Amino acid sequence: MNFDDTPQEAEYRAHARKWVKDNAPDDLMQEFAAAEEIRDRDARTAQIVRVAKIWQKRKADGGWACLSWPREYGGRGATPIQRVIWDQEEGVYGALSGPFAIGQGMCGPTVMAYATEEQKRRYLPPLASGEEVWCQMFSEPAGGSDLAGLRTRAERDGDDWIINGQKIWTTGAHFCDYGILITRSDPNVAKHKGLTMFFLDMKSPGVEVRPIKQASGHSGFNEVYFTNVRIPDSQRLGKVNDGWNVSLTTLMNERFSIGARLATGVPEFFEFASQTKLADGSLAIDDKAVRSKLATWAARSNGLKYTAYRAISALSRGERPGPENSIGKLVAAPMTQDIAMYALDLQGQMGAISRDDATPAGKLYQTLFHAIGMRIAGGTDEVMRNIIAERVLGLPGDIRVDKDVPFNKIPTRGR
């Protein structure tokens, strides 16, 4: 039992570390941080995407973009453990590449699995280098956790498909060039059996992107409306009506991200409790109740870190990590919310004051809202528990009353 690299891993790490040191984007980090202060959404987005593209292109030129992808598609054919080592060495600079996370993490693997060779050579390298940005259009007002309940229609028209409908919670749609889109191609069959996946140019006529104002007042997501949008059949991913299986490729990649540092709120709370004085003048961290809660949270946060180490060890041995990685978001997301609320509570009535400064208290206040989204995005807490219960513990699937009902006969109103 040790935390040491193998000689090959150490060599790879040294190589990555040197490149990161020689190409450190500290100037870009400053611009990235400054962008957070820009109030206008379009101007803020433009600055974030601009610095992201500079860093991504630099990495691509150095051979460090999407490094686990094959060379012919813009990667370097790296092994999973090499990918982890790179992520560790890129460290905080990895945040710069945020705008590409969904495109490279989810759309890319889907395109790689289902597009033609010609399309892969056309679209994957610029996706890897950040020259083209992709988004993923799955969720709908009527289909979130129940994704297969989606209603956006795709109707065949000669060599094209005509798309009408609405997507929601689309991250980055307002700055993306392309997107993958799951649609209902046959409403007369059971819901999972009538779906088809496409990719499309986000500048196609009839595509309209509108920002969603979130509970926090910010706008990071969008609604995307489709009005008679034409997509050539050549941009279909997978077979007609086989979109559900295609979507599973995409979603598997969403939930499988090893060593990804999930925000837990623990370092911020530790700092907050170490600085904040309670009404009696004592430090919060000397208070019995605070210590007890912090210890529980710290142990859970540490548990996530060491669970990731176990997965990395499996990768290092050339094995597939076990299912224990499915717990990450389910542990981290609700915990950040609990921590944020407790930080408010410790300030008494003053905790109610809205703030978004860089102090620990300011960060924790922001977490209060961020946590709502974290508990839902990429699978709600409840969906994650179902996944663990069914796929890890082998418990039966939920009883699905709409399973064998044609989609257009499924009731749509609760009362």
Partner 1 sequence: MNFDFSDEQKQLRDQTRRFLSETCTTKEVRAVLEGKHKFDRAVWKGLADLGLIGVAIPEEFGGAGAGRLELCIVAEELGRALAPVPYSSTVYLASELLMLAGSDAQKKAWLPRIASGDAIGALALVEGIGDPTPRSIKVSARDGKITGTKTLVPDGEIADFAIVVARGKAGDDERGVGLYIVDLKGAGVSAKAIETVDPTRNHAEMTFNAAAADPLGATGEGWATLTKVLDRAAVLVAFEQIGGADRALEMGRDYALDRMAFGRPIGSFQAIKHMLADMYVAATLARSNAYYGAWALSTDAGELAEAAANARVSATQAYQLCAKNNTQVHGGMGFTWEFDCHLHYRRSNLLALSLGSLTFWENRLIDEMRKRNAA
**Under the rule (CB under 8 A), what is the footprint of partner 1?**
1-5, 9, 270, 274, 285, 288, 291-292, 294-296, 298-300, 302-307, 309-310, 312-314, 316-317, 324, 327, 330-331, 382, 384-386, 388-390, 392-399
Q: Quote the CA–CA distance of 256 and 381 in Å, as a whole number.
A: 16
Please name the helix (run of DSSP H) or strand (run of DSSP E) that holds residue 236, with its range, or none. Answer: strand 236-237
Burial of 246 (0-12, 13-18, 19+ CB in 10 A): buried
Shortest gap between Cβ of 380 and partner 1 (angstroms)?
12
Please identify which of the residues 9, 155, 254, 271 carries the catalytic annotation.
254
φ/ψ region of 243 (left if φ > 0, alpha if ψ in -120 to 50, else beta) reads alpha
Specify the residue, 251 or 388, whose C-beta has the smaller distance to partner 1. 388
Q: Quote the CA–CA distance of 350 and 365 in Å, as a whole number.
A: 12
Shortest gap between Cβ of 311 and partner 1 (angstroms)?
9
- Pick from 397, 413, 402: nearest CA to 189: 402
- 101 vs 105, 171, 387, CA distance in Å? 5, 10, 23
Q: Quote the CA–CA distance of 96 and 94 in Å, as a whole number.
A: 5
In sign, the C-alpha dihedral spanning 392, 398, 402, 405 is positive
Task: Identify whether 155 is a catalytic site residue.
Answer: no
Specify the residue, 156 or 391, whose C-beta has the smaller distance to partner 1. 391
Specify the residue, 218 or 300, whose C-beta has the smaller distance to partner 1. 300
**Residue owning tokens 């209060």:** 368
Residue 169: CB atoms within 10 A of its CB come to 21
Specify the residue, 232 or 303, whose C-beta has the smaller distance to partner 1. 303
Shortest gap between Cβ of 391 and partner 1 (angstroms)?
10
Shortest gap between Cβ of 72 and partner 1 (angstroms)?
30
- Pick from 72, 67, 106, 73: nearest CA to 89: 67
Shortest gap between Cβ of 273 and partner 1 (angstroms)?
9
Tokens of 56: 């991504």
Answer for the pair 211, 219: CB distance below 8 angstroms, yes or no: yes
Shortest gap between Cβ of 328 and partner 1 (angstroms)?
10
What residues act catalytically? Answer: 254
